Chain A
């Protein structure tokens, strides 16, 4: 049961984050110090298809995560769901067309290895 929940969390988190990044890139930089910037962002995100799809994925991920946390240790639950990190970096390069330099690849891999060690 716990690994089924982990699989659901990984896939839903990956989809959610990539859609969120794609949506927010379309929004453009949020100027947080400008008055009303956050209100404008909120008004925009509730109507954007990418963000709506992203929130749906993240809701699935969140409720699966709640289930997992209700019987698994926090220090199992959090690291086990980190497999999504590498998957998301791959999608950042090919779907979001980010320039993923060797520093970022190495950084993402180090973090993923570290997170697996945390789960041991």
Chain B
């Protein structure tokens, strides 16, 4: 560890807060997007008009807005944390997505899916126990 203990603790707190923000905006964004798109109906086309029209659906618009916040908060997080740390840790979102699908969209969770949820949580905890920042390169403490 190349940082001072106080700086390191601050970095860890900041990392956890941003990981949480990334997870919540991703799950809620995908949820509202899915909700809106399934009201609209099948959308398989290369014509941009159909997609742009879909954006005027209020649920699709809400989902897209949340996903923009997701993208920006993930960019901020990746400015100091490793991709190989951020990926498994923010995968906790898959668990929330599955639970949201069950609660609000009446999708079923089979025993295999529950086992999958346990695997994901184990992976999140294991990767979350590593130091978030190992990449080489200048500018890590830059502006």
A residues sitting closer than 8 Å to B (CB atoms) are 1, 17-18, 20-21, 24-32, 38, 40-42, 45, 51, 58, 62-63, 66-67, 69-71, 73-75, 77-79, 82, 85, 88-89, 91-93, 96-101, 103-104, 106-118, 120
- Binding site secondary structure of chain B: helix
Select A108's contact among B30, B51, B105, B123, beta carbons within 8 Å: B123
Q: Which residue of A lies closest to B120 (CB)?
A: A114
Q: With A and B bound together, what is the CA distance between A32 and B10 in angstroms?
A: 12
Q: With A and B bound together, what is the CA distance between A120 and B114 in angstroms?
A: 11
Q: With A and B bound together, what is the CA distance between A71 and B43 in angstroms?
A: 8
B residues sitting closer than 8 Å to A (CB atoms) are 14, 18, 30-31, 33-34, 37-38, 40-45, 51, 54, 67, 71-72, 74-76, 78-80, 82-88, 91, 94, 97-98, 101, 105, 107, 110, 112-113, 115-130, 134-137, 139-143
A104-B130, A106-B127 given; name 4 further pairs at CB < 8 Å: A67-B43, A79-B94, A103-B127, A117-B112
Knowing A58-B71, A114-B120, the reply to whether A70 touches B84 (Cβ < 8 A) is no
Knowing A79-B94, A114-B94, A120-B113, the reply to whether A70 touches B78 (Cβ < 8 A) is no
Looking at the assembled complex, report how far the CB atom of B65 sits from the nearest CB atom of chain A, in whole angstroms.
13
Knowing A63-B51, A104-B130, the reply to whether A92 touches B84 (Cβ < 8 A) is yes
Assess the B101–A115 pair: CB atoms within 8 A: no
Chain A neighbourhood of B51, CB < 8 A? 63, 66
Chain A neighbourhood of B141, CB < 8 A? 28-29
Assess the A96–B140 pair: CB atoms within 8 A: no
Chain B neighbourhood of A27, CB < 8 A? 79, 139, 142
Assess the A28–B143 pair: CB atoms within 8 A: yes
Chain A neighbourhood of B74, CB < 8 A? 20
Q: Which residue of B lies closest to A78 (CB)?
A: B97
Q: Which residue of A lies closest to B115 (CB)?
A: A117
Chain B neighbourhood of A93, CB < 8 A? 84
24 CB contacts below 8 A, A to B, read A20-B74, A25-B79, A28-B79, A28-B80, A30-B75, A30-B76, A41-B75, A41-B79, A69-B37, A70-B38, A70-B42, A75-B113, A78-B97, A93-B84, A97-B136, A99-B134, A101-B130, A104-B85, A110-B119, A111-B124, A113-B116, A113-B119, A117-B116, A118-B113
